[in-house]
Amino acid sequence: MVRLNRIYTKTGDDGTTSLGDGTRLPKHHLRIESYGTVDELSSVLGLALVQGNVPEPLALVLRRIQNELFDVGADLCVPGAAGDKLRITASYTTHLERDLDAVNESLAPLTSFVLPGGHPAAAWLHVARTVCRRAERNVTALASFPEEAERINPEVIRYLNRLSDLLFVFARAANDNGKLDVLWKPGASR
């Protein structure tokens, strides 16, 4: 159980922060940016839930995902081998795939790319999807550095990739199963 008695420590006043293993890094380090973006994603999902009127079956999954995103952040915050540390496993992604497939079955077939819009819940879920893609780009960029490649759990990348797909499908579901989707009209302004 996490216990926070004091919120400020003053140790970050020099522009650094501590990882879960005690290593200190500059606050602009790509690892910090990666789990910070995952935290931002959880916040956007919170906004979707309170402002978007997300249908309850989807809301239940999104609340579970918010908790999982803390697990993703913990995984990124403690680099290296698993040991006794919390790590994302393949089961996290399997759950996303199960949810994604179940919801996608009832959607109207796509005839064009979808623009963010329609119902407020759909718009918020599209924002969440784009933040998720940024988190994924950050983690893959971090993993591209030789000194970090072995310190990134590849399941984190798979999870974020699948999560962005799920958020797209959930946005369509929030748009009356795709009936309210705003479709791209190529060259409409010519």
Query: Looking at residue 4, what is its pLDDT?
Result: 66
Query: Looking at residue 82, what is its pLDDT?
Result: 57
Domain locations in the chain as residue ranges: 27-105+114-176
* Of the candidates 40, 69, 95, the residue with the CA atom closest to the CA atom of residue 156: 69
What's the pLDDT band for 83 if we cut at 50, 70, 90?
low
Mean pLDDT of all residues in the chain? 91
Query: Looking at residue 16, what is its pLDDT?
Result: 73
DSSP states of 44-113: HHHHHHHHS---HHHHHHHHHHHHHHHHHHHHHHS-S--TTS----HHHHHHHHHHHHHHHTTSPPPSSP
Structure confidence by residue, pLDDT tens digits, 104-124: 999 988 889 999 999 999 999
Query: Looking at residue 18, what is its pLDDT?
Result: 80
- CATH superfamily, region 27-105+114-176: Cobalamin adenosyltransferase-like (1.20.1200.10)
